[in-house]
Amino acid sequence: MAVGVERERDPFAEAAAEARHRLVTALAAGGALPDPAWRAAFEEVPRHLFVPYYYVGTLGGYERLRYDDPDPEGRRRWLEGAYEDEPLGTRLRGGDLVSSASQPSLMADMLHALDVRDGDTVLEIGAGSGYNAALLSHRLGDAHVTTVDIDADITDAARAHLHAAGHHPAVVTGDGARGCPDRAPFDRIVATCALPSVPPGWPAQCRPGAYVVAPLSTGIVRLRVEDAEHAEGRFLPTSAYFVPLRGALPAAPEPRTGGLPRRALDSDLFRFLLTLVSGRLDPHEAYDLWRREGRPARERYGVTVRGGRQWAWLDDPEGPYAWPLGEPARRDRAGG
Residue type, 135: L
Other Cβ atoms within 10 Å of 3 Cβ, number: 15
Give, as one character, the DSSP assignment of residue 288: H
DSSP H/E element including 79: helix 72-82
Chain-centroid distance of CA 249 in Å reads: 16
Q: Helix axis angle, 268-276 relative to 283-292, nearest 10°?
A: 130
**Angstrom distance (rounded) from CA 275 to CA 301:** 13
Distant-in-sequence, close-in-space partners of 169: CB < 8 Å, separation ≥ 6: 133, 136, 137, 142, 143, 144, 145, 146, 147, 162
Q: List the one residue out of 194, 187, 246 whose CA is nearest residue 220.
A: 194
**Angstrom distance (rounded) from CA 321 to CA 307:** 20
Q: List the one residue out of 54, 45, 55 whose CA is nearest residue 21.
A: 45
DSSP H/E element including 84: none
What is the chain's Cα-based Rg?
Answer: 20
Catalytic site residue from 102, 129, 197, 278: 102
Q: Is 239 a catalytic residue?
A: no
- Residues known to be catalytic: 102
